[in-house]
Amino acid sequence: MPPNHRPQDSAVSLESARLLLRPFKYDDFESLFAMHSRSEVARYLYWEPRSADEVREALARKIGRSRFERDGDGLGFAVVLKSSSELIGDCSLFLASAEHRQGEIGFSAVPAARATSRTRSTRSRSPRRPCVNLGSIIHGPVSSARGS
């Protein structure tokens, strides 16, 4: 990756009309514990409901995840509802292959936030659009394979 496109040089935050995705901070512990300790959240993830100590360790890893240059690097984002400043989700971006510019996105959300999102999307009359092009944030401008 070119040295002029390094997200770790500054905190990357993403924003939509309703949500803010920002780096995690230690103050997020209570909200993250409330989410990660729930069986209805953990059932879709790679772990069982987490204890307070396990969430502290996970939060420390999320805060330390600040590089996106080599295979296995990643960025973690707290998903915050802008209207209330409530942490309602957890989103991670992992670099699976730097050579092939491939990654993975993982996310989890509190059940009430998922229900609200489904309700909002079914009421929406406009087509859904991505709120941001992650490729341009991580790697700079992305051109289409069709040249358009």
Task: Break the chain into its structural domains and give their ranges.
Answer: 13-136
Cα 44 to Cα 52: distance, rounded to the nearest angstrom: 19
pLDDT category of residue 29 using cuts at 50, 70 and 90: very high
pLDDT category of residue 1 using cuts at 50, 70 and 90: very low
pLDDT category of residue 130 using cuts at 50, 70 and 90: very low
> Check: CATH 3.10.20.30 for 13-136?
no
Instruction: Read off the pLDDT of each residue in 55-73 and give the average, rounded to a whole number.
Output: 90
Average pLDDT, the chain: 76
Instruction: Note the pLDDT of residue 148.
Output: 38
